[in-house]
Amino acid sequence: MKLLIGFSGRRGGNCDQIAEYAAAEGDRIVYFRDMKAHPCSGCDYECFSGACRYRPDGVYDLYEAMHGCEKVVLIVPMYCGNPSSLYFIFNERGQDYFSHSDVWDDIVKRLYVIGVYGSARITPGFVPCLGKWFEGTPYKNRVLGVERHRNGQRIGDRVLDVEEFRREIKAFLE
């Protein structure tokens, strides 16, 4: 089973469409925007000495769910030159999860990341930012950049209308 997590704040956009395209029967799609996820703020660093005060919001459970999957696919759009703020909330909250267990490798070995963005020329650091999960690990080629401008697409265009993108996504997740 695959767990696909979309980090777009927009319903029905490219990230949602990619998740639905990549999901097979029995796979699970989570739209992070639908979670009541708290960002890392308004606390006293409880995650370092005990447990994050926001654990009951479901983010910790989402990390737990990653263990039982064959693959975990993070689908991350770029907004204002960076991964979406929803992705950053998820990433920050991993501090609590990973600091209280020895499961980093078990999660990362299942992880694949698809970044959806406009232009590598304008925002060359987007895809490498997503690859930080894999630094110092043996896992290679785990980030796929879907660069819309490469195929003449603009904001609002559907990336899955381009056969090349569909082929790349399918091959990446096989």
Closest CA to 6 of 36, 25, 39, 29: 29
Q: State the CATH number of the domain containing residue 15.
A: 3.40.50.360
pLDDT digits (tens, 9 = 90+) for 100-137: 778 999 999 999 999 999 999 998 999 999 999 999 99
Taking the complete model, does pTM exceed 0.85, yes or no? Answer: yes
pLDDT of residue 47: 86
Closest CA to 153 of 103, 119, 108, 109: 119
Give the number of other CB atoms < 10 A from CB of residue 156.
Answer: 8
CA distance 136 to 64: 22
Closest CA to 66 of 82, 90, 37, 46: 90
Domain count, the chain: 1
Residue 102 belongs to what domain range? 2-173
Would the pLDDT of 4 be above 90? yes
Average confidence score pLDDT of the chain: 94
Give the number of other CB atoms < 10 A from CB of residue 39.
Answer: 13
pLDDT of residue 16: 98
pLDDT digits (tens, 9 = 90+) for 52-106: 999 999 999 999 999 999 999 999 999 888 999 999 999 999 998 998 778 999 9
